[in-house]
Every structure is written in C-alpha cells, then in structure tokens.
Structure 1
C-alpha cells in the first residue's frame, strides 16, 4: 500500500472502521494527505476493487475540535439531503461523530473529481459558474431545516487592520451594531467560496472551466441568501481584488438569485462577513500560500480586506 508521507497515515482504529465500510473484495491500496483545509485532516483513500480497478474515498477527521460532533452531524445530514439533487456534493459512506469507533470524530465520503482553483487566471469565467452553483444550492428545500445561521463576529471583536482608515471601519462596525434585517430563509452552505469548490479546467482553455463538486458542508445552516453571497464575495475580494467581491454579487443576481431588497440591508450582510474575516486573516491566508499563492501574506490579505470594506462603504454605505 502506498502512503505519501507520515501525514497521510490513518490511525489504527480509524483504519479498521473504514475497512468495515468497504465493498466486498475491496482493499486500501493508497493513502494521500489532502491539503488546504483549516479545521480537519483530509485524506484520499484509493481502493483496489474486486474487478481489478480502483476508486477513491475521502476521510475527514476532526482532531481535538470542540464542535466536531455538531459539524459532522450537520455535514452527514447535508450530504444525505443532497443525494439526488443537482448539487454536486460527495456521497455519504459512513460517519462516526462521537468517535465511538475511531480515535477522533470522522466522516467517510465519496471522492469527487476536480480541483480547487485559486489563481487569478480565468477568474472572470469562474465567477458566473460560482454564482449559478450557489443559486442551485439556495434552491434546495429540505424537509427539515438545518439550524439557524450563527453570526461569526460582533461589533466588539472586529480587528481593524494596521494602517486602515479608522473612520471608515468605525462606520462599518456601526452597521453591524444594528439588529439583523428581516430575511426570507434559505438553505445555506455557509462556507461557499473557491476553496470549497472543485473545477475541471482544460489546460489549453481556462475559460472552459466547469464545476465538478462542492465540498465541506459542516456549517450548513438556515438563513439569508445574502450571507452566503457575502462570504463568497469577501473571499473573492481577498483572493483577486475588491472588484471581484462586487462582481460576484452582480453575477448571483444575473443567475436568478434574489438578495435583500434595500441597499442598507445588503450592506449589513456584506459588511458583516467582511468584518468577520478581520479576525482570521492569518488563518485564511495560510492555506492559500500552501496552494501556491505565496504573495498572499497575512499583511497583503489584510490590505485587501481594508480595501474591500472601504469599497463596500463607498458603494453601499
């Protein structure tokens, strides 16, 4: 069995649990650590099948994470719900949310083809694809609603970037001191952004990209479509520049998505997510650099966040 380094090794109890969920005659022939995640260990397991072929599964393990049980229950519920829909999500194979069988809470799911794409090249073609995919996610109508969204920041926890215009940031902070606007609830991914979307990109034609999968459903929630749109907008702004955050909002509406009716309501959700990112700039920048965007240091990302928040306040404020 191939094992690509020590990081790829699966703990003994977890390995035994995985084997109980394989098809008859299957065996694990390769294990590879997957990079880019922040909260969970991810591994691709290559299985040798009885007919001599191979197929892949993905093992997701939360090590010493406080909310692992809740996240895995929500993710397994979402994967079950999405089976048979037009949303390209992994299929659930097994879940052990309380570590009853594994060393740590774990989830086993099918592997989706494709890769994350974080570079600037081809972004103008990918943004409309992301928008259409998010509209499809928001169209899902679960028989049982997931829990209500949780706000990720407060007016008192915002971290103002060094060198930012304090007056602009003070005004933005005042926006989220107000009560949340009324909204029509939707099924939310809650972390929909390029790092959780898989693409097939023809090497000779980046504009021919297509989405092959959406992953990481652990934060599935019920809330305003604006919140998912705002999150993806913020990440696009940090990856590619503030203008791409605004262009994603436009693309979402062009794809048939419906956002808050008034400018002030839209500003609330957009600013709320932007300010939430202020608390974890170093955390989100690290996997981007590991993926090859070495220029995205914590300082560079903080500067882009400042520019984006300023743009939002100038455009919608």
Structure 2
C-alpha cells in the first residue's frame, strides 16, 4: 500500500481480508478516504491489475456501531438483490458482518463512477432524476421482503429548535401522536437523498446530468413509499431551502410514484421525517460542510428545518 496518509490507511487484518478477495496477481496499491458518510468509514481502494492498470473497490467499515452486523447483513442482501434490476447499485464483493476476519465489521463492493452533487446550481435538472430513480427503487418486488421499517422518533423525543414557530411545531408533534396510517408496503431504500446518489455531471452542459449510482443500502426496509419520499424531501429542504422539499414530493408523483391517497396520510409521513431530523441536526449537517457547503451551520439548518415544518403545516389540504 503506497498511500502514507494515516487517515486513509486500512487496518492490517481488514487489508489482508480485502486482498484475499482480489483476482490473482492483483494488489491494493492506494487507499483514499471518501467523505460524506455518518455511520461508516468509507474508503476507495485502488487495485493494481495484472496488466499494469488499476481498478477501484470501495470498503465500508463500521467502527463502534451498535447494529453493525445487522446493517451489513442488510446491505449485502440488498446489493445481491439489486443485481440485474436496472437500479445502479454497487456489486457485492465480500462481507464480514461479524468481524470474523477484520478488526471491525466490513463490506467490500465495486466502485461506481460519478460523484455526489450537493450544490444549488443545477438542482432543477437533478430533481426529476432523483424522483424517477426513487420510483424505480419502489418498483422492485423482492422474492424475500426486507425487515419492516423502523421509525424511532416520538412526540416526546422531538427537539424543537430555538426560536421555532411554536404553534406549527406543536401541531406537527400532535400529528405524530396519532397512529401511523395504513399503507401498502414497498421496497424502500430508507436513506435516499442527494448524499447517497452519484451523478455524472458535465460542468459545461448541466442539462446532460445523469444518475450513475445509488449507494448506502444498509437501511433497506419494507414500508410506505411516503417514508422515502419524505426523507429525500427533508434533505432537499435543509440543503437547498424548504420549497425544494415540497417540490420533490410533487416530482415523485409526476414521475409515476404512488404516495398515500389522502393529504392527511402524506402529511403524517412528511412531518414524521421532518421532526426526526430535529434530533440530529448537528450530525447530518457536518458531512454537508465537509463536502463544501460550509454555510450550512447547525443554526442555518435548524432555521431551514423550522421553515420546512411550518410550510408543511401551512400547506393546503
């Protein structure tokens, strides 16, 4: 391994495990930290091939994560399921969910071309692409369903931001005190947002943007499509402004998606996801700043969350 950056170095047992899953005559020649994740350490491994070229793999390692085995099992299963579906996801190379061979639970997969794009510029072009991709994910009919979705936020765990619109937040919290609406289950990514979608974007012609990959399938679940729609909507609202969160829900329907039938049912899921972000604003905003959106301080994101939740409660219907 020629990379001398200590942060990029792969731990010895994990490096040996990954090397055992290479083709004959190949070796890992360089590693690079990939930023943007919250729960896992993610690295790109440059692999020297027998013909003198290189190819890339991606290593995800969960250090000190309570449910690492479960998450890696789910991600490995999802990547296997997605092969041949047309959804652009990495291919599974190997997984060690129990850390039987590695220092920590790890997963090795193929590397996809493209990059995440979190800038405001070009969002109008990317938004319908995101919506169509999510519709395609929800169209998957797995032979074996993943686990049922889990939503941990309750009315008692919501953290109302300082200076928030008190009446709107009280009304929103009352929404999630009610039982969840009935729904027809679908295959969910469960963490679909711009940070987990790769784009091939030509700077000179942004209209030519296309999605090259969807990553981070560790939270794959079975549940209402509105959960995925709501999660992406909240992320867009915090990254780009509340209006874009509202617009994504419309784009999903325009792309052929089938959300809940009534406005009150759709509101439940969107409010639930928005309120869930109140508990982890600092956690979710840090990777955005590391990716270059330095203006998205915790306070700015809190203000956008307040504006988004208020907009949801003020929306007609």
Query: In which range does the TM-score fall when normalised by the shorter chain?
Result: over 0.9
**CA displacement at 1:252 relative to structure 2:** 0.5
Equivalent residue pairs, number: 317
Tell me the secondary structure at the aligned position of residue 81 of structure 1. helix
Q: Is 2:13 aligned against 1:9?
A: no
- Equivalent-residue separation in structure 2 for 1:24 and 1:6 (angstroms): 27
**CA displacement at 1:152 relative to structure 2:** 3.2
Tell me the secondary structure at the aligned position of residue 173 of structure 1. helix
**CA displacement at 1:220 relative to structure 2:** 0.2
Tell me the secondary structure at the aligned position of residue 289 of structure 2. helix
Pairs within 5 Å for 1:123-272? 123-272=123-272
- Equivalent-residue separation in structure 2 for 1:314 and 1:40 (angstroms): 37
Tell me the secondary structure at the aligned position of residue 64 of structure 2. coil
Of stretches 1-10 and 40-49 in structure 1, the one that deviates more from structure 2 is 1-10
Pairs within 5 Å for 1:6-155? 6-155=6-155
**CA displacement at 1:2 relative to structure 2:** 3.0
- Equivalent-residue separation in structure 1 for 2:197 and 2:215 (angstroms): 6
Structure 2 portions without partners, runs of 5+? none
- Equivalent-residue separation in structure 2 for 1:5 and 1:154 (angstroms): 42
- Equivalent-residue separation in structure 2 for 1:154 and 1:23 (angstroms): 49
Counterparts in 2 of 1:183 and 1:44: CA distance versus 1, 3 Å: same
- Equivalent-residue separation in structure 1 for 2:147 and 2:137 (angstroms): 16
- Equivalent-residue separation in structure 1 for 2:281 and 2:188 (angstroms): 23
* Residues 170-210 of structure 1: CA deviation (Å, up to 9, x unaligned): 10000000000000100000000000000000011122210
Say if 1:45 and 1:59, in contact at 8 Å, map to a contact too. yes
- Equivalent-residue separation in structure 2 for 1:108 and 1:310 (angstroms): 42
- Equivalent-residue separation in structure 1 for 2:310 and 2:215 (angstroms): 31
TM-score (norm 2): 0.99
Say if 1:267 and 1:316, in contact at 8 Å, map to a contact too. no
Aligned to 1:311: 311
Say if 1:74 and 1:217, in contact at 8 Å, map to a contact too. yes
Of stretches 88-97 and 44-53 in structure 1, the one that deviates more from structure 2 is 44-53
**CA displacement at 1:4 relative to structure 2:** 5.7
TM-score (norm 1): 0.99
**CA displacement at 1:165 relative to structure 2:** 1.5
Say if 1:71 and 1:219, in contact at 8 Å, map to a contact too. yes
Structure 1 portions without partners, runs of 5+? none
**CA displacement at 1:114 relative to structure 2:** 0.4
Say if 1:31 and 1:44, in contact at 8 Å, map to a contact too. yes
Please tell me the root mean square deviation across aligned C-alpha atoms, in Å. Answer: 0.8
- Equivalent-residue separation in structure 1 for 2:213 and 2:256 (angstroms): 20
- Equivalent-residue separation in structure 2 for 1:4 and 1:295 (angstroms): 31
